[in-house]
C-alpha cells in the first residue's frame, strides 16, 4: 500500500514497485472517472506516465469485486480515494453503505493477483471538519485504508517524493542491486 498527499509522488513510486515485482502480467486498475477537464487532464497524465511499462489498463470506477484479473499478475489499484468517492457519490455507486463491499473487493483482488499495490490519499491530517457527506466519505476511506494496510506486507507513505516505510522491511525499489 502506498499513501500520500496530492502530488506527493505516490503514483510514480507505486508504479516503480510494480515494475520491480516478478509477475509478467501487470494490470492497472484505474478508478478515476472523467467528469471534468481537471480529471481528464489527470487521467491523461497518468496514462502518459505508465505508457510503455506493460500495464493492461482496467477502468473500474465502481464495483471493485467485478474486476477480473489474470491469476498471478501484479495489480496496481489507482486509487482507493477515487474508488470510495465514486461508490459514495456517483449514481452507479452504492452510497454510504459501501465500506464492507469495498473491503470484500480488496480481498477478491488480493486472492487473484500475486502482488496487489494499492494507492490511496492521505486526507486526514488537515484538522478541518467538513459537511456531513464529506465526513462520511472520509470515514469510509479511513475504514477501507485500515483494511488495506492490515492486508499489506508493506505500507509506504510518500512525502515530497520520498517514500517512507511504515510497515514491513524497508526495501529500495529503485536500487538495481536490491531486486
Tens of pLDDT, residue by residue over 108-167, are: 999 999 999 999 999 998 888 999 999 999 999 999 999 999 999 999 999 999 999 999
C-alpha 107/C-alpha 32 separation (Å) is 21
Average pLDDT, stretch 64-69? 96
Q: Domain residues for 23?
A: 2-168
pLDDT of the residue at 173 = 78
Cα 61 from chain centroid (whole Å): 12
Residue 179 maps to a domain: no
Model confidence, pTM: 0.91
- 46 assigned to active site: yes
Instruction: Tell whether 51 is in a known binding site.
Output: no
Identify whether 19 is part of a domain. yes
Annotation-wise, does 100 bind a ligand?
no
Whether 146 is in a domain gets the answer yes
Which pLDDT does position 87 carry in this prediction? 97
Mapped onto helix, strand or coil, the DSSP state of residue 67 is coil
pLDDT of residue 179: 43
Measured CA to CA, the distance from residue 18 to residue 78 in angstroms comes to: 12
175 located within any domain? no
Task: Tell me how many domains the chain contains.
Answer: 1
Q: In this predicted structure, what is the pLDDT of residue 142?
A: 98
- Look at the chain and count its residues: 179
Residue appearing with cell numbers 502480467: 25
The answer on pLDDT for 58 being more than 60 is yes
Beta strands in the chain (DSSP E): 2-4, 26-30, 55-59, 74-78, 115-121, 155-159, 162-167
Residue in 46, 63, 107, 108 annotated catalytic: 46
**Residue 128, domain CATH:** 3.40.50.300
> How far does the chain reach from its first CA to its final CA, in angstroms?
18
Please check the confidence at residue 4 and state whether its pLDDT lies above 90: yes
Is residue 35 in a domain? yes
Q: Is residue 174 part of a domain?
A: no
Is residue 176 assigned to a domain?
Answer: no
Identify the CA nearest to 69 among candidates 29, 42, 41, 102.
29
Answer whether residue 177 is part of any domain.
no
pLDDT number for residue 174: 67
Quick check: 175 pLDDT over 70? no
pLDDT of residue 105: 97
Is 42 annotated as ligand-binding? no
168 annotated binding-site participant: no
Q: Which residue has the cell 491530517?
A: 125
Check: CB of residue 17 under 8 Å from CB of residue 178: no
For 54, the grid coordinates are 506493460
Amino acid at each position: 500500500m502506498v499513501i500520500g498527499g496530492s502530488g506527493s509522488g505516490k503514483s510514480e513510486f507505486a508504479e516503480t514497485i510494480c515494475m520491480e515485482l516478478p509477475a509478467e502480467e501487470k494490470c492497472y486498475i484505474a478508478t478515476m472517472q472523467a467528469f471534468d477537464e481537471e480529471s481528464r487532464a489527470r487521467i491523461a497524465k497518468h496514462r502518459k506516465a505508465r505508457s510503455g511499462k506493460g500495464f493492461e489498463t482496467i477502468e473500474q470506477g465502481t464495483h471493485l469485486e467485478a474486476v477480473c484479473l489474470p491469476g498471478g499478475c501484479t495489480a496496481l489499484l489507482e486509487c482507493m480515494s477515487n474508488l470510495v468517492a465514486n461508490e459514495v457519490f456517483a449514481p452507479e455507486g452504492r452510497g454510504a453503505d459501501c465500506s464492507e463491499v469495498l473491503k470484500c473487493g480488496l480481498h477478491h483482488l488480493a486472492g487473484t493477483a500475486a502482488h496487489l499495490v494499492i494507492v490511496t490519499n492521505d486526507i486526514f491530517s488537515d484538522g478541518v471538519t467538513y459537511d456531513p457527506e464529506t465526513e462520511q466519505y472520509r470515514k469510509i476511506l479511513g475504514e477501507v485504508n485500515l483494511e488495506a494496510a492490515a492486508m499489506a506486507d508493506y505500507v509506504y507513505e510518500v512525502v515530497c517524493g520520498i517514500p517512507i516505510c511504515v510497515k514491513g522491511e524497508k526495501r529500495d525499489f529503485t536500487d538495481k542491486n536490491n531486486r
